[in-house]
Amino acid sequence: MPVDHVAIALLIGSFAGLLVLRVPVALALVLSTIIEASYLGIPLTIVGQRMVAGLDVFALLAIPFFILGGEIMSAGGISNRLIALASIFVGWLRGGLGMINVGASTFFGALSGSSVADVSAIGSVTIPMMKQKGYDTDYAVGLTISGAAQAVMIPPSHNLVIYSMAAGGVSVGALFTAGIVPGLLLGAALMVLAYAIAVRRGYPAERTVTLAEVPRIVGEGLLALFMPVIILGGILSGIFTATESAAVGCVYAFVLTFFVYRDIPLSKILPILQRTFRTLGVVLFIIAAASAFGYFLAYLQVPTLITDWLLQVSDSKFVVLLLINILLLALGAVMDMAPLILIMTPILLPVTSALGMDPVQFGIMLLLNLSIGLITPPVGNVLFVGCAIGGISIEKMTRSLGLFLLPMIVVLLLITFVPSLSLALPGALGQ
């Protein structure tokens, strides 16, 4: 079929125009596909069929369990236990509270898989603590929101499940294990930054945890961290599928929160379920809408055109991958993560595959790019939540954001050009 440039311009232009008019992303995707179908003379029932087909994927059943498990753990007062656990390792250093913040975000990311949940749970505790102890507000908020970006890479992340589906069934187990080293590397880079700033600004160290306190703190913290061990261990051992392990992890989170920790009464399960269903409704609608939009992109041969164009721009793999990163960073600043995963994966995966990049490595690179978008304006959901907690304006926080973006960009480049950072662990585990 010859390339219809007018149809391509209409599809992409109508979608961009609707976004400019502040139409919600999912609705903009649906409306632009309806406009495109009408122009091409394709029955509108095809749009509905493609939306339903986008949800008819078994792996998506894992998403509600991951979201529910994360909501339960977020509501269960676990953030204080994880902060205490992190304080054992880094609290005694100068500016230790900042490093505790990052460490707790690392731990919590392994439970929630959500950067927004991470900054809400950890930030609501650490940001007021840091302000009270003399830390600058922009530093406290910047460190919190950048630390929360780890959650989308460290398993169990439902965004990795979405990528697996968009990439045509890439192993969820391989993606989960691939995200561990990059996630920890990002956390380590932010801790180095936190220490360097603390030394320069004279931030204090925290009280050293006594030996008598260690067993209780470690015991309570490790009980929570056993949830991702169940999920990842079940998948890697072959005992569970990704969906089954998510369900088992959800049951574990329920028992631990309501019957072991008992920080909240069982009556709180109803608002937790309500929040879960709201989040799930948004996620599934976006997946369905993006599936229909992606169908028309494929029908118009957009992925093939972009692949050919990018490969003609330069013979250098380095240059092409750098351009892809710049494109994803720009898009991440103006669109939400889930629709971008679903739209850009079928477009860019053929390009990176042609360059010899493993789909698992590309998935981690993609998610880190888009997680950076979560903390950059104008559509940085994590940035907005952090600023609300810290009581700082978006404009003021944006001026200080470059300092925290620097280590994230460095880690992004390492993940892009050093495949072993993403692939060594899955390879060692036979994924």
| Whether the predicted pLDDT of 13 surpasses 80 | yes
Owning domain of residue 118? 59-428
Q: Is residue 143 part of a domain?
A: yes
Distance CA 420, CA 289 (A): 35
% the chain with pLDDT above 90: 20
| Whether the predicted pLDDT of 1 surpasses 60 | no
Q: What band does 2 get if pLDDT is binned at 50, 70 and 90?
A: low
In Å, what is the CA distance from 339 to each residue of 21, 74, 140, 148? 18, 24, 30, 20
pLDDT, mean over the chain: 85
pLDDT of residue 181: 92
Radius of gyration of the chain (CA): 22
Distance CA 387, CA 375 (A): 10
For 51-72, what is each residue's pLDDT tens digit? 988 888 777 788 888 888 878 8
Q: Is residue 30 part of a domain?
A: no
Residues 6+ apart with CB under 8 A from 190: 102, 143, 146, 147, 404, 407, 408
The separation between the first and the last C-alpha atoms of the chain, rounded to the nearest angstrom, is 38
pTM, two decimal places: 0.84
Q: Is residue 318 part of a domain?
A: yes
Q: Are 174 and 431 in contact (CB under 8 A)?
A: yes
For 271-296, what is each residue's pLDDT tens digit? 989 988 888 888 888 888 888 888 88
Q: Is residue 222 part of a domain?
A: yes
Q: What band does 185 get if pLDDT is binned at 50, 70 and 90?
A: very high
Q: Is residue 180 part of a domain?
A: yes
Count of domains forming the chain: 1
Q: Is residue 19 part of a domain?
A: no
Mean pLDDT, residues 176-197 taken together: 91
Q: Is residue 350 part of a domain?
A: yes
pLDDT of residue 431: 67
Q: Is residue 24 part of a domain?
A: no
Q: What band does 182 get if pLDDT is binned at 50, 70 and 90?
A: very high
| Whether the predicted pLDDT of 414 surpasses 90 | yes
For 121-175, what is each residue's pLDDT tens digit? 788 778 888 888 888 888 989 998 898 888 888 887 888 888 998 888 888 889 9
The identity of residue 59, as a single letter, is A
Residues 6+ apart with CB under 8 A from 22: none
Instruction: Assign 3-class secondary structure to the chain.
Output: CCCCHHHHHHHHHHHHHHHHCCCCHHHHHHHHHHHHHHHHCCCCHHHHHHHHHHHCCHHHHHHHHHHHHHHHHHHCCHHHHHHHHHHHHHCCCCCHHHHHHHHHHHHHHHHHCCHHHHHHHHHHHHHHHHHHCCCCHHHHHHHHHHHHHHHHCCCCCHHHHHHHHHCCCCCHHHHHHHCHHHHHHHHHHHHHHHHHHHHHHCCCCCCCCCCCCHHHHHHHHHHHHHHHHHHHHHHHHCCCCHHHHHHHHHHHHHHHHHHHHCCCCHHHHHHHHHHHHHHHHHHHHHHHHHHHHHHHHHHCCHHHHHHHHHHHHCCCHHHHHHHHHHHHHHHHCCCCHHHHHHHHHHHHHHHHHHCCCCHHHHHHHHHHHHHHHCCCCCCCHHHHHHHHHHCCCHHHHHHCHHHHHHHHHHHHHHHHHCCHHHHHHHHHCCC
Q: Are 153 and 179 in contact (CB under 8 A)?
A: yes
pLDDT of residue 216: 84
